[in-house]
Amino acid sequence: MEARDVPATLIRGAAAIMTGLSAAPRSAGPDIRIRGSVIAEIGALHPMPGEDIVDATNCVVYPGWVNTHHHLLQALMKGVPAGMNAPLRQWLDVVPFAFRMRFDEDMLQTAALLGLAELVLCGCTTIADFHNLYFPGIAFDSSGAIFAAADRLGVRMVLCRGFSARSRPSTTPQPLSMPPETLPAVLADLEKLTASWHDPSPAARRRVVAAPSSLTQSAEAGGLKEVAAAARRLGLRMHSHLAESRDDVIFCREKHGLRPLEYAASQDWIGPDVWFAHLVKLDTEDIRILADSGTGIAHCPGSNARLGNGVARVLDMRKAGVPIGLGQDGGAANDPGDMISEAHFAWYVHRAGGGHDALSIADVIHWGTRGGAEILGLEKVGAIAPGFEADLAVYELDDIRFAAFHDPGIAPVATGVRPRLKRLLVGGRTVVADDQIIGLDLAELRRRVGAAVQRLMTV
């Protein structure tokens, strides 16, 4: 069974519609009409001949989640014992760096399908995947494998083409360390990927992004400027990890004599076409640099907590006007693998630090939907409003944990519980129906995953 296209769809009788818009976070609805890929009307609507009717009684409708930072490759690396209580630098060595060179094309496809299945079943429709399995002599097209998996599930894919043009220091021996690429090879591949995959349209299903694995460590200073110039010439956005841990700040000061954000600015790596993951270790001047330049953040509170790095100052960033999106960061660093638990944790952790009125559920939904789409440059994605792409998650509130909610609209984020998906649409196309991913046999995928994990553990 393949994902279904219909000429028109009417989602009817929703108990609540959360728009993802900060100015108008709710719609009275209760109905949403979709024509082609786009939301046509919202209100009290009557069915029209030929429409696919989705009965949304006792359902809440959200925009599809927009995940601004992920690592699909790491979906096969959950719960690795050596990394469970390790700090970031050691965790990198004993988890992703220890396993990534063992991947062949089939294992990468398995990891991508697993990670995407986790995200799709929580209602995520757009994924920015930070993919960095590239090295001289690689025997398969790893970029193509990621796009193929996204096409199979029917989601929007923003491929952040990671690279390391210099070796990073390691805390452990790395017999299978990944050799660095040359900068000319990286630039040539960015040109090729742009021609093959990149769609600059405001409702793109495929995008390519230039993404050094670590801005402070993956290339020499001149190389970063060269990549930035090439990315802007090609019309690509730019993304990297930055200031995730105290070690990154220390390294940047010792190597470059600057704080991470100062260094980014010195290398032309700030601006409205740039966003960074994590940004945990910032001071007030760093936040000013972000705000003044329009540089965004993929806020990853779950992995930041899981790895013991701290809590990013996103409340201060929001006050300053910094663009904010949510990133799940992948199951190896953030075990749940879904966006609902990420939004729930973001709501909790910032109220814990900022007070009872620091952050609303509507704020968090905005970060995880329209806010993230704006950072990715997808101007017609991430909101429930006429003219926007029909990326919609219709959640059934039949779980007993939702039964007593006076306001059903907030129930998924307030509980952190994944509701049953009655329907998930991407550009008007059904990719999940009655909590089943169309075109993907989960039992078979579980078998593939089990075999792949055994291979990773025994190679």
pLDDT digits (tens, 9 = 90+) for 166-211: 766 555 555 568 999 999 999 999 999 999 999 999 999 999 999 9
pLDDT tens digits, residue range 389-435?
999 999 999 999 999 999 999 999 999 999 999 999 999 999 999 99
pTM of the model: 0.96
Residue 448 phi/psi, 5° resolution? Answer: -60, -45
CA angle 128, 436, 130 (to 5 degrees): 15
Contact 168, 198 (CB under 8 A): no
State the architecture of 65-376 in CATH terms.
Answer: Alpha-Beta Barrel (3.20)
- Can you tell me the distance from the alpha carbon of 36 to that of 34, in angstroms, rounded to the nearest whole number? 6
How many whole angstroms separate alpha carbon 19 and alpha carbon 392? Answer: 10
pLDDT band of 269, cuts 50, 70, 90: very high
Residues forming a β-bridge with 35:
8, 38
Q: Which two tokens stand for residue 176?
A: 């299978």
The CATH 3.20.20.140 portion of the chain extends over: 65-376
Q: Residue 443: CB partners within 8 Å, gap ≥ 6?
A: none
318 near 324, Cβ under 8 Å? yes
Please give the share of the chain, as a percent, with pLDDT higher than 90.
94
Q: Mean pLDDT across the stretch 257-279?
A: 97
pLDDT of residue 316: 98
pLDDT at 9 over 80: yes
How does pLDDT run across 224-256, given as a tens digit for each residue? 999 999 999 999 999 999 999 999 999 999 999
Q: Across residues 12-40, what is the average pLDDT?
A: 97
Side-chain half-sphere CA neighbours of 115 within 13 A:
35
Q: Do the Cβ atoms of 131 and 347 come closer than 8 Å?
A: no
The pLDDT value recorded for residue 1 is: 35
| Contact residues for 29 (Cβ-Cβ < 8 A; gap 6+) | 14, 16, 17, 42, 43, 44, 61
Distance CA 227, CA 268 (A): 10
* Residue 286, pLDDT above cutoff 70: yes
> Which residue is associated with the tokens 């779980």?
399
Q: Identify the band that residue 28 occupies on the pLDDT scale cut at 50, 70 and 90.
A: very high
Spatial contact of 12 and 30, defined as CB atoms under 8 Å apart: yes
What pLDDT sits at residue 176?
Answer: 65
Structure tokens at 76: 């096969």
pLDDT in tens, 29-51: 999 999 999 999 999 999 999 99
Residues of the chain with CATH 2.30.40.10: 8-63+381-437
What is the rounded average pLDDT of the residues 355-371?
A: 97
Calpha distance 257→353 (Å, rounded): 31
Helix (H, G, I), strand (E, B) or coil at 313: coil
Q: Which residue carries 């600059």 as its tokens?
A: 200
CATH class of domain segment(s) 8-63+381-437: mainly beta
Tell me: pLDDT of 6 over 70. no
Pairing of strands 324-326, 52-55: unpaired
Per residue in 108-150, pLDDT tens?
A: 999 999 999 999 999 999 999 999 999 999 999 999 999 999 9
